[in-house]
Structure 1
Amino acid sequence: MAIEVLKKNGMFMEHAPEVMEKGYSGKNLDDDGREKRTGTVITASAHIITAVIGSGVLSLAWAMAQLGWVAGPAVLMAFSVITWFTSTLLADCYRSPITGKRNYTYIDVVRANLAGMKFQLCGLAQCANLIGTTIGYTITASISMVAVKRSNCFHKNGHEVDCYTSHYPFMIIFACIQIVLSQIPNFHKLSWLSVLAAVMSFAYSSIGVGLSIAKVAEKEHHVRTTLTGVTVGVDVSGEEKVWRTFQALGNIAFAYTYSTVLIEIQDTLKSSPPENKVMKKASLAGVSTTTIFYMLCGCMGYAAFGNNAPGNFLTGFGFYEPYWLVDFANVCIAVHLIGAYQVFCQPIFGFVENWFTQRWPENGFIMNEYDVNIPFYGSYYLNFFRLIWRTTYVIMTVVLAMVFPFFNDFLGIIGAVSFWPLTVYFPIEMHIAQAKLQKFSSRWIWLKIMSWVCLIVAIVAFVGSAQGLITDLKTYKPFKNQH
């Protein structure tokens, strides 16, 4: 029987009869009438680690090689502190200070504190970032899957064999998995996947660090590292040094970005103790853990490969021995990206579905949900609109990933455009508005200075990513098979 509700996981008290019909009672409803939230510091930290430690960790050795032993770790630490600080400001915006009303999404928070044009700009920046990230993850997951197949081919047939492997079948496999997982209703039901993805990120990061240490310990290991990174006239030209420095700053800055999903993560937490206090603890735990792994991967990777560090330091160990260990690391990357994809696409799903339910609240196709009994799972409430819309989104991302296999350059540009407003500007502006800071007061001044410095870094990173995109476009052929 079809059960008409406003939205399966967007229930309000005025829709209590429908909620009760679905089996909920006052005991398992929160103060806003939604299903009771059960998130904790652990689950929130898992979401954060899943969102922050992406495959970008593998490029940090390359970034260190461009910046050197002095600037590399310093920049890494600077952005970890900035990310943690702005996340604490954003966490305080989850509930409106006067009414205590919840703001369920990043866009809701900006609308409640900074209405008008700023709200619209926030929506554009967040959507661009989330969509770009999901497409980038589709590409990166397929690269890891291909690496496993090629590694086994080399091991079986010898290192002289071509072992050509197309990325496209693996993108389709990734999409099929995401179509199934995308039917998970919302963030609240996603905790198990984030915990699994977080474990996977620890696994492949640890393997990378372990292989780096083993490589450094080799007797014949001789690589050149410097305090300032790649050397002009030896490793690169002066122009290349500038572009690479720009790109390295961007890689490190955007490796920490998770503000786009912070409010959605906070909306999974129990209401007691207060959500902002729990979220601040989770942010500290998540960012600290991430920084430790970033430092280890970046510094040990640079020590292992020197100024010739590859873009992905796991592939720098080759497709050869120990092939099984590198295979396992690449499988962990693929599994992690499967979970990370969901963390970044759930806000998109929620935004679109909320818009449709508010626009057409009486439409059966959009509103009706059907109780389906799934073996070993139990009751699942099937909504045909959710099924079709989410499947269409996943197909769209995989098609774009196939058309633009160098989409990581686009992702760099999207990240450059969205990093400053979403991670720095909006949290600072909302804090100033909530705290009613006086113009030109000491706190107002240093907050503004931090915002402007981050804007300059974002512009620099945009320029570097644009240069890389232009270089790729010169040799680009659509749907050309890759080796």
Structure 2
Amino acid sequence: MVKHDATAKEKCASLDMPRHAASESDLLDDDGRKKRTGSVWTASAHIITAVIGSGVLSLAWAIAQLGWILGPFMMLLFSFFTYYTSILLSACYRNNDPINGKRNYTYMDAIQSNLGGFQVMLCGLVQYINLWGVAVGYTIASAVSLEEMYKSMCSHKSVGEDPCKEVNTNMYIIAFGIAQIFLCQIPNIDELWWLSYVAAIMSFTYSTIGVGLGLSKAIENGSIAGSLTGISVGTVTVADKVWRSFQAIGNIAFAYSYSMILIEIQDTIKSPPSEEKTMNKATLISVIVTTIFYMLCGGFGYAAFGDASPGNLLAGYGSFNPFGLLDIANATIVIHLLGAYQVYSQPIFYVVEKEAARRFPNCPFVTKDIKVGIPGVWCFNLNLFRMVWRTAFAVVSTVVAMALPFFNDVVGLLGALGFWPLTVYFPVEMYMVQRKVAKWSSEWMWLQALSLVCLIITIAAAVGSIVGIVNSLQNYKVFSFS
């Protein structure tokens, strides 16, 4: 029912009114925008939704490539990098003054305010390609989980004979893409708080199941599998050992990746206290929680399967009983990734729609909202440009996921491409400008050394993942439904 219906219009208007009379200033923030309502907990939910994603499923495989010593060490190292650079980045939400300074609504706005010039274009290119890549990666991961649910049900019905081994992933990729066409119509990230809470609960659920299954499998085996140095040369060639180790580092980097949407999350937080203080608390909570889950899930997975750990941990249990637990885990992964896809995609939606409104301010197709309501239940602002463009985004992401459905390889490449520039380089450079860090001071040298080390790690991880994709493409038929 649309705007022409007077009843729907009145109900929609009534839903937009405050419950109690209030002055306009009470409803607006210092920048004239609608008052932000986010807290430590909503910000933590957004972060956990973004961070504890499909990347957790590849951590047992990553430890299998690196071993019991280097694997957990790299997880701790990346958790430190993520927390430290997130603190630097959150300091750049407001310019100069953490309480009264001008707000930067997006990561790109922060780059523009602090660095400007060519670096704005470079950041935009890297950030939005990476955000879009995450959407593709999450589409692939969801399809894998849907496929595993189907196989599990077939196996159970046939009492282990499993007549459904040949399942085409593309059908599940398309199904996930169709669901995202509808979810993409949610206007902005501030209205995603409910979806983030649901997604965060789902991520805890499947991570906990993964931990429990890994522990059960290790107990069933009667020993802790794996070795100190990971998969050995002989089982794989020297070259494969090197490339797979680099790729494993990229997978770990991807598992901690969320800096590219940190500013957007911070822009949902109410003040006082300052958004920086709240965001730092949310970051600390989130990094500690995710690191504990990663250590448990990756560690118990490797203890269960050793050097044979699968790329997707839940895919390694086959007909392991109770099969229903695996189905629950895979279902929660899909639900979680439905929300995480949106958290990562909203910054892209925002910048495209903002630019379209700037270029075509008098075009009703771009700027006009149509009130759509279910009387007495729900009201929604439908924008035709938003509907068309976001639908196209979901369709293109789905097509690319069908062309490159290699979970581990894509995850490793995304982690490598986004880690150094978005998690380290830009936050470090902006912080030094914001806080006027003197060149050649001890703080300046420490930050530059940190950036250099992370650049080397990123290059190694990217090379390893590209080699993996090239090898996978040799045995894959693009867009096959057979």
What letter matches 2:65 in structure 1? Q
- The 3 A distance-change label for structure 1 pair 256 and 376 is farther
Shift of 1:411: 4.9
Partner of residue 8, structure 2: none
Shift of 1:222: 4.5
More off after superposition, 301-310 vs 453-462:
301-310
> Is 1:477 the counterpart of 2:456 in the alignment?
no
Q: Secondary structure at the match of 1:190?
A: helix
**Does the Cα contact within 8 Å between 2:251 and 2:411 map onto a contact in 1?**
no
- The 3 A distance-change label for structure 1 pair 216 and 476 is closer
- Whole-Å Cα distance in 2 between the matches of residues 21 and 41 of structure 1? 27
- The 3 A distance-change label for structure 1 pair 356 and 239 is same
Q: Secondary structure at the match of 1:381?
A: strand
What letter matches 1:208 in structure 2? G
- Whole-Å Cα distance in 1 between the matches of residues 239 and 355 of structure 2? 48
- Whole-Å Cα distance in 2 between the matches of residues 459 and 375 of structure 1? 55
Partner of residue 305, structure 1: 305
User: CA offsets, 1:388-424, max 9 Å, x none?
Assistant: 1111111111122223323763453343223211000
User: CA offsets, 1:149-192, max 9 Å, x none?
Assistant: 11011100232333033223322321222122111110110011
- Whole-Å Cα distance in 1 between the matches of residues 225 and 274 of structure 2? 51
Matches within 5 A, 1:259-408: 259-375=259-375, 377-406=377-406
What letter matches 1:139 in structure 2? I
- Whole-Å Cα distance in 2 between the matches of residues 373 and 206 of structure 1? 39
- Whole-Å Cα distance in 1 between the matches of residues 254 and 444 of structure 2? 25
Partner of residue 416, structure 2: 416
**Does the Cα contact within 8 Å between 2:206 and 2:333 map onto a contact in 1?**
yes
- Whole-Å Cα distance in 2 between the matches of residues 66 and 403 of structure 1? 26
Shift of 1:360: 1.2
Which blocks of at least 5 consecutive residues in structure 2 are unaligned? 5-12, 19-23
Partner of residue 175, structure 2: 173
Partner of residue 21, structure 2: none
**Does the Cα contact within 8 Å between 2:311 and 2:407 map onto a contact in 1?**
no
Shift of 1:20: 13
> Is 1:206 the counterpart of 2:202 in the alignment?
no
- Whole-Å Cα distance in 1 between the matches of residues 78 and 101 of structure 2? 31
**Does the Cα contact within 8 Å between 1:44 and 1:279 map onto a contact in 2?**
yes
Q: Secondary structure at the match of 1:380?
A: strand
Q: Secondary structure at the match of 2:313?
A: coil
**Does the Cα contact within 8 Å between 1:155 and 1:320 map onto a contact in 2?**
no
Q: Secondary structure at the match of 2:370?
A: strand
Partner of residue 66, structure 2: 67
What letter matches 1:106 in structure 2? Y
What letter matches 1:147 in structure 2? E
Partner of residue 82, structure 2: 83
Match of 1:216 among 183, 199, 218: 218
Partner of residue 131, structure 1: 132
> CA-atom RMSD, angstroms?
2.1
**Does the Cα contact within 8 Å between 1:132 and 1:411 map onto a contact in 2?**
no
More off after superposition, 68-77 vs 96-105:
96-105
- Whole-Å Cα distance in 2 between the matches of residues 336 and 222 of structure 1? 32
Partner of residue 10, structure 2: none
What letter matches 2:269 in structure 1? L
- The 3 A distance-change label for structure 1 pair 376 and 405 is farther
Partner of residue 43, structure 1: 42
- Whole-Å Cα distance in 1 between the matches of residues 428 and 377 of structure 2? 44
What letter matches 1:236 in structure 2? V
- The 3 A distance-change label for structure 1 pair 93 and 321 is same
- Whole-Å Cα distance in 1 between the matches of residues 218 and 391 of structure 2? 46
Partner of residue 104, structure 1: 105
- The 3 A distance-change label for structure 1 pair 142 and 323 is same
What letter matches 1:210 in structure 2? G
Q: Compute the TM-score of the two structures, normalised by the length of structure 2.
A: 0.92
**Does the Cα contact within 8 Å between 1:147 and 1:319 map onto a contact in 2?**
no
Partner of residue 430, structure 1: 430
Shift of 1:217: 1.5
What letter matches 2:70 in structure 1? A
What letter matches 1:206 in structure 2? T
Q: Compute the TM-score of the two structures, normalised by the length of structure 1.
A: 0.92
Question: Sequence identity of aligned pairs in percent?
Answer: 52
What letter matches 2:478 in structure 1? P
- The 3 A distance-change label for structure 1 pair 196 and 480 is same
More off after superposition, 238-247 vs 347-356:
238-247
Which blocks of at least 5 consecutive residues in structure 1 are unaligned? 4-18
- Whole-Å Cα distance in 2 between the matches of residues 246 and 389 of structure 1? 37
User: CA offsets, 1:180-218, max 9 Å, x none?
Assistant: 211111011001101110110100010011111111222
Partner of residue 144, structure 1: 145
- Whole-Å Cα distance in 1 between the matches of residues 286 and 350 of structure 2? 24
**Does the Cα contact within 8 Å between 1:154 and 1:320 map onto a contact in 2?**
no
- The 3 A distance-change label for structure 1 pair 404 and 268 is same
- Whole-Å Cα distance in 1 between the matches of residues 259 and 409 of structure 2? 21
Partner of residue 7, structure 2: none
**Does the Cα contact within 8 Å between 2:253 and 2:415 map onto a contact in 1?**
no
Matches within 5 A, 1:10-49: 25-49=24-48
- Whole-Å Cα distance in 2 between the matches of residues 367 and 214 of structure 1? 56
Partner of residue 8, structure 1: none
**Does the Cα contact within 8 Å between 1:136 and 1:408 map onto a contact in 2?**
no
- Whole-Å Cα distance in 2 between the matches of residues 344 and 385 of structure 1? 20
- Whole-Å Cα distance in 2 between the matches of residues 254 and 167 of structure 1? 22
- Whole-Å Cα distance in 2 between the matches of residues 411 and 343 of structure 1? 17
What letter matches 1:310 in structure 2? P
